Structure formats: structure tokens, C-alpha cells
Amino acid sequence: MSDVSSEAKRPGWFQRLKQGLSRSSSRLTEGLTAILVKRKLDGDTLQEIEDLLIEADLGPATAAKLAEELGASRFGKEVTDTEVRSFLADRIAALLAPIAVPLTFSTDAKPFVMLVVGVNGVGKTTTIGKLAQSLRAQGKRVMMAAGDTFRAAAVAQLAIWAERTGVPIVRKEEGADPAALAYEALEQARREGMDVLLIDTAGRLHNKAGLMQELAKIVRVLKKLDPSAPHSTLLVLDATTGQNALRQVETFREMVAVDGLVVTKLDGSAKGGVLIALAERFGLPVHAVGVGETADDLQPFDPAEFGRSLMGLG
């Protein structure tokens, strides 16, 4: 297996993640400071902390679990907000560690077919561009398929990434059948000896029934050429949607076999805690997180860095 996320992180990534999560962390740190001024950790204090964690979109179950663990460790003692933030950062990192999984591509399948799904505007195209860039840097032969044929802008944006990364792209006229395009792309990728085929898809959740049929058809036609395809289905989520991200996971899992997540736009979100709620609810691997618009802003997910950033710790 080849690891697409083993490249060195560019300097300052932790600082940029911290800045990106500042809206989430400032709400938490200010709240904890206010709660813990000259107070022992009693039942009322723990309830306030639990409520604060819920407001930060960690989800009720996770918030209750963290408050319970904090109480078991420090109940009846005077604690500072820094102590509590450090404790919570460590526990969050421990909760997230099992789902922090580098994105890998099996060399058994040639090409390895990855379907990239998610609602419009979450950063699917940037994610595909970053994957293509990483794979190309490893000497892999990559092809893109512009499967969101209903939006000319989506095809144009993917074409820009194809040119930037030096990767061939399969595309058709606006309104073309996405399944037919996926089929032709896989045929071409096999013919040209590609290692990986990255397929973009539409994300029109307002028309869920139509989208479900479309995705099911894409999977069905891919299997005509390769019964094991797609080999992976990556769901891209936007952190700014908060708890709505949970509903998106549920919705897309009804349509396709989602086996991994990328969470984007942590830099614009006061709802960064939703990543923890996602881990607790679904346990799906989180392969990468994004704190900006460029390819370099998407990096492998590090739970320790995330926990410390979320709690405003240096």
C-alpha cells in the first residue's frame, strides 16, 4: 500500500490549525475561564462544562462522557481553566486517535478507483486536486473524471486542477450522463495504465432521490468493468455546517458505501467540535482536515494537534 499523506507538513501547519480553530477555541476557553473562577469542581460546574462542550458541537454523548471523565479525575478539587483545557485536549486526542487514519491506495487494483462525494461547495474539487498532487509527487499515474456534469463551473474548476497537477481529465458536455462518463473514464484509465482514478460527483441533496439513483448508477456501471470498484468512497464535509455534517454522513451512507472522511473549512468555523461528534457517532476514518482553499491547506489529520488547537493551547 502507498501512503498519500506521508509528505512533510509545511512549517506553521499547527499554528494555522490553531488560528483556524480560534473561533471554536475562544468560545470554549472564555467559557471555561468564566466557569472555573475560584470554584471547586462540583456537580454544577461539571454540568456547565458539559453544556459548553455541547454548544461547541461536540455532541451530547461526547460532552457527557468528557465531563464524567473530568469529574472522576478532579472532582472536589480546585482546578484552573488551563488544567481543564489540558485534560480535555488529551481526552479528545485519545477519542480521535482510532479514526486518524492516513489515506492509502491499494496497489492490488489498477487503477484504484476512488469516488469522491459530498454536497456542493464543501471542497470536493480541492480535495481531489490535493490527492492528485500528492500521488503525482510519489510517481503515481493519476486520472480525474469530472462527474459533476450538471455544473459547468465544477468541471471547469476540476480542469484547472488537472492542468496544475499535470493530470489527465475525462469530461463531457454539460448535462451528460455521469455514469456513462465514469464508465468511459475507467475504460480509458485501464487502457492508459493509470494507477488511480479520482471521480468527482454531484452533490445536489435538495434532490436526494435523483442523486441516490445517480450515484447508484455510477457504482453499477463501474462494477461492469471491475466488480470490486469503486475501491473507496470518500465523503467531504464542511465543518462550518456543524451538526448538519452528521446528517450528511447519514444521508450519503444510505446512497453509497462511504469508508472515509475529509473535513474542510475548519478555519471558518465556530463548530470545530463537530469532528469529535462525527468520530463518536460513526467511527469512520478521518483522513485529512482543511483550513483554507489551497492544496497545501489540506493536511493529514493529527488528533493531538486538533485537541490542543480546539482548546486554545500552544
9 has pLDDT over 60? no
* Interaxial angle between packed helices 124-137 and 152-165, expressed in degrees from 0 to 180 and rounded to the nearest 10: 20
What is the tens place of the pLDDT at every residue in 206-258? 778 888 899 999 999 999 999 999 999 999 999 888 888 999 999 999 999 99
What is the tens place of the pLDDT at every residue in 155-187? 999 999 999 999 999 999 988 999 999 999 999
**CA 236 remoteness from chain centre:** 5
Dist. CA 307–CA 256, nearest whole Å: 30
Residue 11 confidence (pLDDT):
45
Kindly report the backbone phi and psi dihedral angles of residue 183, in degrees, each rounded to the nearest multiple of 5, phi listed first.
Answer: -60, -50
Q: How would residue 6 be classed by pLDDT, with cut points 50, 70 and 90? A: very low
Q: Is there a contact between 127 and 232 (Cβ–Cβ < 8 Å)?
A: no
